[in-house]
Amino acid sequence: MNIADLRKSYEKAELSETASHADPLQQFDQWLNEAIQGEVPEPNAMTLATVGSDLRPSTRVVLIKGFDARGIVWYTNYNSQKGRELAGNPYAALQFHWVEMERVVRIEGLVEKVSDEESDEYFKSRPLDSRIGAWASPQSEVIDSRTVLVTNAAKYGAQFLLHPPRPPHWGGYRLKPDTWQFWQGRKSRLHDRLRYTLQADGGWLRERLAP
């Protein structure tokens, strides 16, 4: 089959100015809950885009771990490629793609680390294997083989037993949105696309974009 011939007609829902929330956080909360209730595979998975010092963008999938008026939170290794890139350029973009619901959410903004207290609290809630894994994996570094990871996991497991502390190189990031986009697939490629832009007074300007 020629991949250029793969097409889909989007007809499940619509997104209008009158039926959407004036606050993008409320709109996101509604769509995320609908994705969870609709049993979309991994509704909490989001693509994170960062830009390195060489101006080359890179993406990877991470998991949202919380959100509120302050922003969108995820956790990772600060020494990873994304951590290094955020240290040099703290602006990033996130994207959720809920295929089964024919929806996409794009979020852009400034990224900052969450507090040590927030990182500690979340780290303690993780399964033991995940906590050991945070110590065992030198994320984004070249390693000789998987044996390195297995050996490191055994080493730190024996060292910390049931109570591994949070590694100093591991913690949370929070993206503070200044732009949101909500995309709802529609028939004939005439999709619905609403953009919310943060204003100087803290309010949001909602505008329809051509698809």
Task: Return the active site residues.
Answer: 189
Nearest residue to 170 (alpha-carbon basis) of 203, 196, 133: 133
d(CA 178, CA 182) in angstroms, rounded, equals: 14
Nearest residue to 116 (alpha-carbon basis) of 41, 42, 171: 171
d(CA 172, CA 159) in angstroms, rounded, equals: 24
CB 93 within 8 A of CB 181: no
DSSP 94: E
DSSP 102: T
d(CA 193, CA 189) in angstroms, rounded, equals: 11
- Residue 177: how many other CB atoms lie within 10 Å: 23
